[in-house]
């Protein structure tokens, strides 16, 4: 009968499977075979589908429409909510794979239709399809993150037509053109120059005289010009005298974009490429520029060369456009944030340098501090100014008055120009124009001490903005000293950290659930999720508290997490999960804001889960799960919470 009528399973299930992980990676004929084994069942809202420790799992349930909650009831009857799952999610995979009874209680929170895949069919897929079991066992594997990024690029931004993905796909090791040319450190400058001419290279690596593997420095054309010819140095001097040391290195598996960031942040043109502790070559900014990396790098250089302040305005307004292209080309969020920070810093550096020329040198050395997301190097398209000035303690009252006048003028002008450059004013007036945030070092130290001693709510709020400060321009050592002072304070003050942690745990917005997400109940952002407040801020707060507690100097959230991992405060597994979750959300937020800019809407942080792909939603939900785990870690440090 089937042969003559309709032999394929209805399209509905094949279409469904073709959209969800990991089924979508199956060959179409396998999907069709699987689809024929599938049944549909309906469960009214309130149905208890599985009972932990009791229910045998006969089918993998794939939610076609509706939603369920997964929870655990402990011996005393207390319910812990573990997860919400919605369309495209599955129930029971782990139990089937491990051959156990249900490990969670599952109840329908909406009227729910499920596709039922018989246990045996699912197990067959697990054993026959490469990557299938991996998917279920490793819910946040690298592979999925990678797939997700490609999906984000593909579906949500589209491909930019004019560019290749070279900068992000090619590894540094792949663009090395020749083995490194080296010379012993005791060779003469003349010998080195001769060798460079012979091999037609613009740089030589310098090794220890008795060990060719031991690279200790680098000499470039520019060094010969600036350090030998210009000052008239004797070319019989050893090359060691003019080399740059140590050599900036980059791992061979890093992407060219990584290398570009390194070059821009360290203002070096040459990077030695390292593979298994061995230098295998040298790459230059020219090599990178050849890979279509012109845009960011030339903008960076153009800013640095600008001689007039108003010449900076149009350059800084080019940054969002450039970032947009980088996202389209597939840069990851962590990279993008660093790139934005580097370019903004470059604008700031040029602006303040030109202003100093205008106003004359400052009476004492100072440091322009960046706070908040700028301080953490986590800006996106539109970043309010959060800045302050920290200067050396004046010697006497007269100098103090001079400082006050000078820095007031500097701050006023700098902030006006920054507004012209497209950085909006801080609504909370956390800017160097505010006399409270323009102080000598001793006053700043006192200020931080006061906050740490009196954890009133406002002080706790200040902390979140101020404690992420970093040096933006000027004498960075002043910022270092302030950081040391702060770390001394907070490491001791468990009470203060306790208040910070409590604030971190209590920050919960009015909630309702939509497509299993916590969203605003009503108002302008009804059914939307504030990805900054609900998604990213918990990670930022967590990283800050533990950074303060353990005296970590980093301000960037990902960097703080790295250090926490290295110091074994976070498990490797949780570190990886937190990093992925954080970066994934930054990416979603960037893409969201990019899409808003494309239609001339001011960028915000309100994302509608309904608009996300199934994969985005599942990753976002996994990311939220990580928050609970981070909070659990906080509670182990602050048991009284």
Positions that interact with another protein (CB under 8 A): 1, 4-6, 9-10, 12-13, 35-44, 64-65, 111, 113, 115-116
Least separation in angstroms between CB 610 and another protein: 14
Q: How far is CA 43 from CA 39, 71, 112, in A?
A: 13, 18, 5
Ranges of beta strands (E only) in 268-385 are 270-275, 278-284, 366-370
Least separation in angstroms between CB 79 and another protein: 22
Least separation in angstroms between CB 38 and another protein: 5
By beta-carbon proximity to another protein, the closer residue of 65 and 159 is 65
By beta-carbon proximity to another protein, the closer residue of 112 and 373 is 112
Least separation in angstroms between CB 42 and another protein: 4
By beta-carbon proximity to another protein, the closer residue of 39 and 635 is 39
By beta-carbon proximity to another protein, the closer residue of 44 and 246 is 44
Least separation in angstroms between CB 114 and another protein: 10
By beta-carbon proximity to another protein, the closer residue of 12 and 495 is 12
By beta-carbon proximity to another protein, the closer residue of 87 and 392 is 87
| Phi, psi at 371, each rounded to 5° | -120, 180
Radius of gyration of the chain (CA): 29
Least separation in angstroms between CB 115 and another protein: 8
Q: Any alpha helices (H) in 72-156, and if so which ranges? A: 93-98, 119-128, 132-137, 142-151
| Phi, psi at 363, each rounded to 5° | -60, -35
By beta-carbon proximity to another protein, the closer residue of 61 and 328 is 61
By beta-carbon proximity to another protein, the closer residue of 46 and 266 is 46
Tally of CB atoms within 10 A around 182? 18
By beta-carbon proximity to another protein, the closer residue of 20 and 471 is 20
Tokens 């208040």 sit on residue: 499
By beta-carbon proximity to another protein, the closer residue of 37 and 550 is 37
* Segment holding 211, helix H or strand E: strand 211-220
Q: Which residues, in sequence order, are CB contacts of 412 under 8 Å at separation 6+?
A: 433
Which long-range contacts does 191-198 make (Cβ < 8 Å, 24+ apart)? 191/239, 192/219, 192/224, 192/239, 193/224, 193/235, 196/221, 196/224
Instruction: Give the span between the Cα atoms of 606 and 48, in whole angstroms.
Output: 33
By beta-carbon proximity to another protein, the closer residue of 1 and 197 is 1
Least separation in angstroms between CB 28 and another protein: 16
Are 253 and 151 in contact by the 8 Å Cβ rule? The answer is: no
Least separation in angstroms between CB 66 and another protein: 9
Burial 136-173 (b: 16+ CB within 10 A, else e): beeebeeebbebbbebbbeebbeebeeeebbbbebbbb
SS3 159: coil
Least separation in angstroms between CB 127 and another protein: 21
Least separation in angstroms between CB 636 and another protein: 43
Least separation in angstroms between CB 20 and another protein: 14
- Token pair of 467 as six digits: 């404690």
| Phi, psi at 427, each rounded to 5° | -60, -30
Ranges of beta strands (E only) in 329-448 are 366-370, 387-391, 438-440
Length reported for the chain = 641
């Amino acid at each position: 009968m089937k042969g003559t009528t309709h032999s394929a399973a209805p399209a509905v299930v094949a279409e469904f499977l073709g959209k969800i992980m990991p089924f979508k990676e199956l060959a179409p004929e396998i999907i069709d075979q699987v689809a024929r084994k599938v049944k549909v069942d309906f469960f009214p809202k309130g149905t208890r589908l599985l009972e932990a420790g009791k229910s045998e799992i006969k089918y993998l349930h794939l939610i076609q429409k509706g939603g369920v909650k997964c929870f655990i009831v402990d011996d005393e009857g207390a319910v812990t909510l573990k997860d919400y799952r919605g369309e495209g999610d599955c129930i029971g995979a782990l139990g089937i794979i491990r051959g156990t009874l249900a490990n969670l209680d599952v109840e329908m929170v909406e009227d729910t239709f499920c596709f039922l895949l018989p246990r045996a069919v699912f197990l067959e897929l697990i054993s026959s399809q490469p990557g299938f079991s991996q998917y279920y066992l490793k819910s946040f594997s690298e592979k999925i993150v990678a797939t997700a990024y490609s999906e984000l690029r593909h579906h949500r931004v589209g491909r930019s037509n004019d560019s290749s993905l070279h900068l992000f796909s090619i590894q540094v090791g792949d663009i090395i053109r020749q083995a490194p040319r080296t010379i012993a450190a005791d060779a003469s400058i003349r010998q080195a120059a001769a060798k460079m001419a012979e091999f037609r290279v613009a740089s030589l690596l310098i090794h220890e005289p008795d060990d060719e593997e031991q690279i200790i420095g680098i000499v470039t054309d520019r060094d010969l010009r600036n350090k030998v010819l210009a000052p008239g140095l004797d070319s019989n001097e050893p090359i060691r005298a003019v080399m740059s040391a140590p050599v900036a290195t980059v791992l061979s598996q890093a992407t060219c974009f990584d290398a570009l960031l390194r070059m821009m942040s360290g203002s070096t043109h040459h990077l030695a490429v390292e593979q298994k502790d061995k230098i295998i070559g040298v790459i230059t900014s020219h090599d990178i520029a050849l890979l279509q990396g012109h845009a960011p790098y030339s903008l960076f250089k153009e800013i640095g060369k600008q001689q007039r302040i108003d010449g900076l305005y149009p350059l800084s307004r080019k940054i969002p456009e450039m970032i947009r292209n980088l996202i389209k080309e597939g840069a990851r969020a962590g990279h993008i944030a660093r790139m934005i920070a580097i370019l903004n810093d470059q604008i700031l550096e040029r602006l303040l340098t030109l202003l100093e020329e205008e106003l004359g040198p400052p009476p004492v050395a100072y440091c322009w501090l960046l706070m908040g997301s700028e301080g953490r190097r986590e800006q996106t398209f539109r970043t309010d100014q959060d800045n302050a000035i920290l200067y050396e303690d004046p010697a006497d009252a007269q100098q103090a008055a001079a400082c006050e006048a000078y820095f007031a003028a500097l701050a006023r002008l700098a902030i006006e120009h920054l507004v012209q450059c497209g950085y909006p004013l801080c609504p909370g007036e956390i800017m160097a124009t505010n006399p409270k945030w323009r102080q000598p070092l001793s006053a700043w130290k006192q200020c931080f001490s006061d906050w740490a001693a009196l954890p009133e709510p406002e002080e706790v709020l200040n902390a979140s903005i101020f404690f992420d400060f970093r040096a933006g321009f000027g004498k960075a050592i002043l910022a270092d000293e302030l950081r040391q002072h702060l770390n001394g304070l907070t490491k001791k003050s468990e009470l203060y950290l306790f208040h910070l942690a409590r604030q971190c745990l209590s920050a919960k917005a009015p909630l309702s659930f939509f497509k299993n997400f916590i969203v605003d109940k009503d108002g302008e952002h009804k059914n939307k999720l504030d990805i900054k407040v609900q998604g990213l801020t918990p990670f930022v707060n967590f990283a800050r508290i533990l950074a303060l507690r353990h005296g970590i100097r980093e301000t960037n959230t990902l960097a703080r997490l790295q250090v926490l991992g290295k110091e074994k405060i976070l498990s490797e597994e949780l570190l990886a999960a937190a990093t992925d979750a954080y970066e994934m959300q930054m990416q979603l937020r960037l893409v969201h804001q990019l899409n808003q800019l494309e239609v001339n809407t001011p960028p915000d942080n309100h994302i509608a889960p309904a608009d996300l792909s199934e994969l985005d939603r599942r990753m976002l939900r996994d990311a939220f799960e990580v928050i609970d785990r981070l909070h659990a870690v906080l509670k182990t440090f602050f048991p009284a919470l």
